[in-house]
Every structure is written in structure tokens, then in C-alpha cells.
Amino acid sequence: MNQELIVGLDIGTTKVCAVVGEVRDNQVEVVGVGTAPTGGGLRKSVVVNIDSTVKAIRKAVEEAETMAGCEIRSVYTGVAGAHIQGQNSHGVIVIKEREVTPAEVDRVIDSARLMVSIPSDRSVIHTLVQDFLIDGQDGIRDPVGIHGVRLECRVHIVTAAVNALNNIVKCANRAGLEVNGIALQSLATGEAVLTDEEKALGVALVDLGGGTTDLAVFAGNSLRYSSVIPVGGNNLTNDIAVGLQTSLQNAEQLKKDYGCCLNALLGLEESIEIPGLGGRKARNMSRRELAEIIHLRLSELLGLISKEIQKAGAANPVLAGAVISGGSAQIAGLAELVDETLYLPTRLGYPKVSGGLTDVIHDPAYATGVGLVLYGYRMQQEAGPGRPRSRKTRGSRVGLWGRLKNWFQEVV
């Protein structure tokens, strides 16, 4: 494969999506996209059937290869699911020569990581530096060369179940792909949909997918809080099927064609046809009834998100807004509902990249796939060709590369 190509592989609950990015003049352009339904391979963002997942990966990758005219051998992929845990930690060391060295930066980050005990069935996927403090002065992004006595570091540590990670790597390998790196899905999504200003001021990113809703709170240019709620668009489909007594397939179609939140109706009293179950006659019903079912479940979900944001609030008192991405973000009126419920100015998160396929990927369901390409690009830039390994452990995504490599050797 051309070295200038970076591939993101989003293995989601409902679909696998492969996105090929080409680096031109330090800019990533999308040159190929492929998607395939996961076909029951995942449940709530976790692999539950290897064969179905491998099949979907192969299909999505083949489609992306055809579109991009390339052969895909390695990918950056993501992980999500209720097994993901994010926690903040804090490390302190004494500065030996009164001036911070790169090795000391590595050491203080390691000390922050060691403050958290990680059980053997879990693995650290990210140690994200929030900021450094020197002699109590906080908000330092790059402490190297600064004089002081005491160096502190605040980090956000994300861990995942080793088995869940194992299964992702196994599926990719069986589909003939090498895994360059695994990112928390919502971190990757943030790369694709958030502006630098939002990340600096404070933003809640909500990825409303099929199986899960992933929350990531960014502030001060780094991830402050992350959590995964095991409820997604599939639950909406299920509620509609039960509530309107129709099949899951019909419910999914009704949701996509007519689904909206109550606020989006605004007096629109449209009648829709509900196909009957098992050969029963179709019925007509007000669109409001469909909206009520969707509204109820989404309000409940937003209540949970609000609680999670409050938990994040201890570290981040003020957020400037919220961004909603994922396939379910397309439900009409959702941004307004989120705005009203979370009291945050809200917008939809469409992936932002240039290139000929921007209109194809102008869909919040592609945000994670595109984000994985951008994440991969950032990883490659941070690692740099021939940079010594200790240098790679500096910066905001500390030690990920080295740890992943070790981890792959352990688990593959």
C-alpha cells in the first residue's frame, strides 16, 4: 500500500466502515469509503460473532479498495462498549536538574499511570495528558526546559477489557489486516467533528450510534471525561416495533423515513402507514405517535447523558456546547431536544475533511471512520520517522504506540 494512505476501520454495532485517507500537502483527503452491515457480529459495540464481523470487514474493505484503487493491508481501528472505563489520575516527581527534561516528562506520566491499579483483564488504551504543573503552576502544555522543583501531571486514563480488544484484533487479522493502533471510538470521532476552539473551551461530544451512546467531554484541548451508555438507535427501533406492533425491519424504516422528536412536528399532524405483523393488515396512524415513542426514549437517554456530564463537571465546570454525531443524530429535531435538555447550544457533527468524497461522507455515521483516519495521521506525525522511542511517549497521547505494540505482541 502507498505509504501516504491511512485507513480507518470503524467496527460499529450496525455497520463496518472503512475509510481511506490520502495525505497531500499535510492535509488528509478521503479517497475511498466502504461500508457493510455487521449482520449481528457485534452487540452494544462489542464483538459477539467473529465470522460475521470478519465477513463485514472484508466487504467494507474491498469496497473501499475499489473506490480508492489501492490494496489495504493495515488499519487504525476503534473500541467502544460498556467495558470501557475512563478515569483521571495525577502524578508527581521531583525535577532533578531544576529544568524539566523529556525523560522527566515520560517519568511523571508513568507515575500518574501507576497511581491507578489496572487489573490483569484490562488494558490501558490511552494515557491522555490534560496538563502539567510546575511548582503548582497549572495549565502547562509543554514543560520541557522550564525551571522548577516539582513536576506534576494530570492525565485521563482509558482502559478496556483485554478480551474485547483481543476480539477486535482477531477479526481484523482474520480479514487479512494488520492493526496499527486502536483508539477509543469517541476520541477518534472528536478528531473528525470538533473544532479546536470547541476542544479548548469545553464541549460534550455525544456519539449516538446503533448499539451504544458514547460521551466524551473535552476541555482545555484534551479529553476530560469519557463514558459509554449501552443504549443506541437499535433501542429506538425496538421500542417502535413493540409500540406500533410491527417488525423490526419495518420499525427501522419508519424511524428513518418519519422518525422525529416531538418538537420537530410543530403542529404537523401527518398520517403514516404502519405495515402489520405476520400478514396482518396495515394501519394508519398519526406521525405524532411515532414521535412520542422516539421522544420518550431519547429523553430518557439524555437524562443519563446529563448525569454523566454532571459527573464530568467536577473537573470541568463550564461547557460551551454539545455536538451530536453517529447515525442516530439524523433524527429530526434531536439537536433542539439536546439543546433544551442539556442547556447547551448543540449542533450535529459531520466529519470535516477535504477531497472529492466530501459529499459521500457528509453523514454523522461516518464520523468515527473518518476520525480514525485523522487519529492515525496524528499518531504517525507524533511518532515521526526514525524518532527515538522515548520521544514518541511525549505529547498528548502518551506511550500509546509503544504500549500497543507490546500489547499486540502479547495478545495476537
E strands along 97-229, which residues?
122-134, 137-140, 150-161, 178-184, 203-208, 213-219, 222-229
Laid out side by side, the sheet with 346-348 consists of: 222-229, 213-219, 203-208, 321-325, 346-348
34 binds, among Mg ion, ligand ATP, none (CB under 5 to 8 A by kind): none
Task: With beta carbons less than 8 A apart as the criterion, state whether 348 and 329 touch.
Answer: yes
Out of ligand ATP, Mg ion, none, which partner does residue 186 contact, by CB within 5 to 8 A per kind?
Answer: none
Among 12, 220, 364, 371, binds Mg ion (CB under 5 A): 12
Nearer to Mg ion, 12 or 181 (CB): 12
Residues 330-389 contacting Mg ion, CB under 5 A: 368
The DSSP letter of residue 147 is B
Find which of ligand ATP, Mg ion, none residue 220 binds, CB within 5 to 8 Å per kind: none
Q: How far is the CB of 123 from ligand ATP (least distance, A)?
A: 20
Q: Does 209 bind Mg ion (CB under 5 A)?
A: yes
328 binds, among ligand ATP, Mg ion, none (CB under 5 to 8 A by kind): ligand ATP
Closest CB 238 distance from ligand ATP, rounded Å: 10
Please report the sign of the dihedral spanned by the C-alpha atoms of residue 183, residue 187, residue 189, residue 194. negative
Alpha-carbon distance 193 to 215, whole Å?
Answer: 14
Which 3 state secondary structure label does DSSP give 212?
coil
Residue 252 contact among Mg ion, ligand ATP, none, beta carbon within 5 to 8 Å by kind: ligand ATP
Least distance from ligand ATP to the Cβ atom of residue 295, Å: 13
The least distance separating ligand ATP from the CB of residue 259, rounded to whole angstroms, comes to 5
CB of 12 to ligand ATP, least distance (A): 2
Q: Considering the complex, state which of residue 179 and residue 331 has its C-beta at the smaller distance from ligand ATP.
A: 331
Return the C-alpha torsion angle 380, 80, 356, 20, nearest 10.
50
Report the amino acid identity of residue 403: R
Beta bridge partners of 8: 19, 76
Q: Which residue ranges make up the site for ligand ATP (CB under 6 A)? A: 12-15, 45, 80, 209-212, 232-234, 237, 252, 255-256, 259, 326-328, 330-331, 365
Q: What single string gives the DSSP state of each residue in 268-287? A: ---EEEEPPSTTPPPEEEEH
> Which of Mg ion, ligand ATP, none has residue 15 at its interface (CB below 5 to 8 Å by kind)?
ligand ATP
Show contacts with Mg ion in window 378-407 (CB under 5 A). none
Nearer to Mg ion, 77 or 368 (CB): 368
Cβ atoms 57, 74 nearer than 8 A? no
**Residues of this chain that bind Mg ion (CB under 5 A):** 12, 209, 368
